[in-house]
Amino acid sequence: MAVSNQKPKRDILFWSGGKDSFLALRYYRDKSKEDPVLLTTYDDESEHVPLQNIPIRRVQNQAMKLGLILYTVPLSYPSSNEQYLKTLSKSFEQLPFSIHHLIFGDLHLEDIRKWREEQFSEMGYKCRFPIWKKPYEELFDRLEEENVSIKVSGVMSEYDGYIKPGDLFTREYAHSLPKQIDRMGEKGEFHTEVIFDV
């Protein structure tokens, strides 16, 4: 009998440690029988997740609490898109499984989604977006159902008069922000960290 050398297929969820990737995971799990594998890129010098500003060790602790496998990919920042994709491609090749889908927590920015789909399609991968265009109030409902706290971990400098790292992110907090700030920080105004409550 011939032995198959074909690798098993798994989905990879790009995990930032923040609320959007957490929501993407929850919605993904609603419809999938298998858990995804998490993947996080981080700054190899500071050992923090860029923008999110979360130490990679805390991201590793998140994965442990979730009971999920996490692959971490070090990058030199700032990194060009070309270098980012090249590093990811090499990392993908070293995985002990083949990739079925790449999962992202994007909400509604068309240009970001288009870029991901185009670039990863060229590499042979399909992308999925579990929380794409989900109503914000529905997402707030979902966060309130979970046994987690969400804290602001990074803020764009032009908004630091309204938002501070360490602020507790809630529905009420989001609605208190000035109108020019997206309620979920989708345009990069702020970033968050998921804290798993005991």
Note whether 121 and 152 are same-domain residues: no
Kindly indicate the confidence band of residue 177, based on its pLDDT and cuts at 50, 70 and 90: very high
Note whether 114 and 152 are same-domain residues: no
Q: Is residue 74 part of a domain?
A: yes
* pLDDT (0 to 100) of residue 77: 86
- Amino acid 189 reads E
Which among 184, 142, 128, 193 is positioned nearest to 165, based on CA atoms?
193
Structure tokens at 147: 């046994």
In whole angstroms, give the CA distance from residue 193 to residue 195.
6
Q: Are 166 and 28 in contact (CB under 8 A)?
A: no
In whole angstroms, give the CA distance from residue 62 to residue 56.
10
**Is residue 5's pLDDT more than 70?**
no
**Is residue 197's pLDDT more than 90?**
no
**Is residue 6's pLDDT more than 90?**
no
Note whether 45 and 77 are same-domain residues: yes
pLDDT tens digits for range 37-89: 999 999 999 999 998 999 999 999 999 999 999 999 999 988 899 999 999 99
* pLDDT (0 to 100) of residue 149: 97
Show the domain range for 107: 9-128
Q: Is residue 109 part of a domain?
A: yes
Kindly state the DSSP code that residue 84 receives in the 8-state scheme.
H
Q: Mean pLDDT throughout 152-169?
A: 96
- Amino acid 32 reads S
Number of domains in the chain: 2
* pLDDT (0 to 100) of residue 188: 94
pLDDT tens digits for range 98-144: 999 999 999 999 999 999 999 999 999 999 999 999 999 999 999 99
Q: Are 69 and 58 in contact (CB under 8 A)?
A: no
